[in-house]
């Protein structure tokens, strides 16, 4: 972080503009040159998503005169942050992809409390669940800037039409469709298991729909074991799919080698390699970039089907902004990220959904984004991605915990009971039980 001391000369005209939106640093009658330290911002985004977030920071700088530099850390952001903190040089603001990381850093005393900074904005702009997800021991530590609806199946409309099936509303419909599509001569499912979060998301969606939100919360908090009968029943539904090797695009190895972007496009290649793929609202980006399929035309989506009459339910993810330093500039950026204006910079660019209820739906560029935002706001049941709520060693580390053992389950579905016992052992260790 070599730019900590970069100085920008700005005028208080910028501060007046930002104050009018509720996140400025102050007001003055005259334009006076002041010196402002550059903010350092860390996040997981790279590529196109990095470019889009940098446009958000550029808007913040234009409004406030405060320069901000973004550093991409990739998915290993927890390790990067730990190293920076140990070196005494944390970023001013970080956008964390897991509530578990927020809890870890808050409990270690690394984060700045934000109730007095942005609590009123959070109450005004967000549903209560988003405050709860950023609160540790009664103290608010974060603002949710970006959200994701992770309860989607993407499907090829042409394949569905030719096979004579309609999007499934129930789990039984999904299995019946898979049998018909397989008989039609194409694998029904593409699973980008090389990105192990797709495997954990399959389970999380099945579990939320089959066991219900209360059990989901209990499992999240390790109040019931991973050997509980409701967990086994949900895992068995997943096994019912992956043990049918002919149902998987590329078989077992193809499933576990394909990353999420590689897996999500398989239904939309020419010729299609699958009929449908589990994904999320942000999966549209890969489909648009890597195929000729038109969103809303050949490429369509349906919500994760209900199980046993379950209520409409959404498993979601997101990125939460937290503050590591205590300065006027840092507080201004946090206030900005909690505003609808910050979301409305990225939303028209695509690949983005905001949990901020004050964002105008008209700014979203397509039906996927608008539909995702509406589902997040209207779902009868919403729960955050379970693996992201776990201690990182169990929930979000490659090759171990949930990621490693769900991969093992795809390879060896007949070892379900053994894998559940190993999950329980690793969960107990991670939770300190």
In tens, the pLDDT along 123-148 reads 999 988 899 999 999 999 999 999 99
What is the pLDDT averaged over residues 277-305?
A: 92
Task: Categorise residue 222: left if φ over 0, alpha if ψ from -120 to 50, beta otherwise.
Answer: left
Helix (H) or strand (E) holding 392, with range, is helix 392-395
Report field, pTM of the whole predicted structure over 0.85:
no
* 111 φ/ψ angles, rounded to the nearest 5 degrees: -100, 155
What is the pLDDT averaged over residues 35-52?
A: 89
- As a whole number of Å, the end-to-end CA separation of the chain is 38
Indicate the range of 12-26, 199-213, 221-235, 325-339 predicted with least confidence.
12-26
| Position 7 pLDDT exceeds 50 | no
Query: DSSP class of residue 283?
Result: G
What is the pLDDT averaged over residues 58-84?
A: 94
Q: What is the pLDDT of residue 433?
A: 82
Which tokens is 110 given? 């690394």
Average pLDDT, the chain: 90
| Position 112 pLDDT exceeds 70 | yes
Domains and CATH numbers, the chain: 7-149+315-384 (3.40.190.10), 152-314+385-431 (3.40.190.10)
| Position 20 pLDDT exceeds 70 | no
Q: Which residue, 94, 254, 106, 111, is CA-closest to 190?
A: 254
| Position 174 pLDDT exceeds 70 | yes
Q: What is the pLDDT of residues 373-401, one digit of tens each?
A: 877 766 778 899 999 889 888 998 889 99
Please give the Cα distance from 147 to 109 (Å, whole number): 26
Q: What is the pLDDT of residue 98?
A: 85
What is the pLDDT averaged over residues 63-78?
A: 93
Instruction: Give alpha helix (H) positions in 73-211.
Output: 77-86, 99-107, 115-125, 128-133, 157-163, 171-184, 197-211
Q: Which residue, 267, 203, 242, 209, is CA-closest to 402?
A: 203
Q: Which residue, 366, 372, 374, is CA-closest to 350?
A: 366
| Position 18 pLDDT exceeds 90 | no
**Residues 180/164, Cβ–Cβ less than 8 Å:** yes
Q: What whole-number percentage of the chain has pLDDT above 70?
A: 91
| Position 31 pLDDT exceeds 70 | no
Within 8 A by CB and 6+ apart from 218, the residues are 224
Q: What is the pLDDT of residue 377?
A: 67
Q: What is the pLDDT of residue 37?
A: 79
| Position 21 pLDDT exceeds 60 | no
Q: What is the pLDDT of residue 29?
A: 40
Q: What whole-number percentage of the chain has pLDDT above 90?
A: 76
Q: What is the pLDDT of residue 23?
A: 56
Please give the Cα distance from 260 to 278 (Å, whole number): 9
Q: What is the pLDDT of residue 32?
A: 41
Q: What is the pLDDT of residue 28?
A: 39
Whose structure tokens read 């808050």?
106
pLDDT bin (cut points 50, 70, 90) of residue 411 is: very high
Q: What is the pLDDT of residue 260?
A: 95
Q: Between these two residues, 8 and 131, which has the higher pLDDT value? A: 131
Instruction: Give alpha helix (H) positions in 143-250.
Output: 157-163, 171-184, 197-211, 213-220, 229-242
| Position 194 pLDDT exceeds 70 | yes
Q: What is the pLDDT of residue 208?
A: 97
Q: What is the pLDDT of residue 2?
A: 40
Q: What is the pLDDT of residue 372?
A: 80
pLDDT bin (cut points 50, 70, 90) of residue 48 is: confident
| Position 274 pLDDT exceeds 70 | yes
| Position 1 pLDDT exceeds 50 | no
Q: What is the pLDDT of residues 214-258, one digit of tens each?
A: 999 999 999 999 999 999 999 999 999 999 999 999 999 999 999
What is the pLDDT averaged over residues 394-423?
A: 96
Q: What is the pLDDT of residue 409?
A: 98
| Position 6 pLDDT exceeds 70 | no
**Residues 319/297, Cβ–Cβ less than 8 Å:** no
| Position 33 pLDDT exceeds 50 | no
């Amino acid at each position: 972080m070599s730019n900590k001391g970069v100085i920008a000369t700005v005028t208080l005209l910028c501060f007046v503009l930002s104050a009018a939106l509720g996140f400025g640093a102050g007001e003055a009658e005259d334009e006076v040159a002041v010196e402002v330290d550059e903010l350092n911002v860390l996040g997981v985004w790279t590529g196109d998503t990095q470019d889009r977030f940098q446009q958000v920071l550029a808007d913040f700088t234009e409004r406030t005169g405060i320069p901000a530099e973004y550093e991409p850390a990739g998915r290993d952001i927890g390790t990067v942050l730990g190293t920076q903190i140990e070196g005494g040089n944390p970023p001013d603001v970080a956008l964390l992809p897991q509530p578990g990381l927020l809890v870890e850093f808050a409990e270690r005393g690394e984060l700045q409390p934000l109730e007095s900074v942005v609590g009123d904005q959070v109450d005004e702009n967000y549903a209560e669940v988003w405050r709860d997800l950023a609160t540790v021991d009664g103290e608010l530590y974060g603002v949710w800037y970006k959200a994701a609806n992770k309860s989607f199946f993407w499907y090829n409309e042409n394949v569905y039409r030719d096979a004579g099936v309609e999007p499934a509303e129930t789990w039984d419909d999904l299995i019946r469709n898979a049998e018909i599509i397989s008989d039609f001569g194409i694998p029904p499912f593409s699973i980008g298991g090389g990105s192990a979060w797709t495997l954990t998301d399959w389970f999380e969606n099945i579990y939320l729909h089959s066991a219900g939100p209360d059990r989901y919360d209990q499992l999240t908090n390790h109040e019931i074991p991973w050997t509980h009968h409701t967990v086994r029943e949900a895992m068995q539904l997943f096994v019912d799919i992956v043990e049918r090797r002919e149902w998987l695009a590329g078989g077992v190895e193809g499933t576990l080698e394909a990353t999420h972007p590689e897996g999500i496009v398989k239904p939309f290649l020419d010729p299609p390699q699958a009929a449908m793929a589990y994904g999320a609202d942000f999966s549209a980006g890969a489909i648009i970039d890597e195929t000729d399929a038109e969103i809303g035309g050949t490429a369509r989506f349906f919500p994760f089907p209900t199980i046993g009459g379950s209520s409409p339910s959404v498993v979601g993810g997101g990125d939460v902004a937290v503050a590591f330093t205590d300065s006027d500039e840092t507080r201004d950026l946090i206030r900005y990220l909690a505003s609808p204006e910050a979301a409305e910079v990225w939303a028209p660019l695509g690949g983005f959904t905001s949990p901020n209820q004050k964002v105008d739906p008209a700014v979203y560029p397509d039906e996927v984004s608008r539909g995702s935002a509406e589902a997040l706001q209207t779902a009868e049941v919403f729960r955050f991605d379970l693996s992201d709520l776990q201690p990182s060693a169990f929930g979000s580390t490659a090759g171990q915990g949930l990621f490693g053992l769900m991969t093992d389950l795809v390879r060896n579905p007949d070892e379900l009971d053994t894998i559940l016992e190993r999950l329980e052992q690793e969960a107990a260790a991670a939770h300190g039980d």
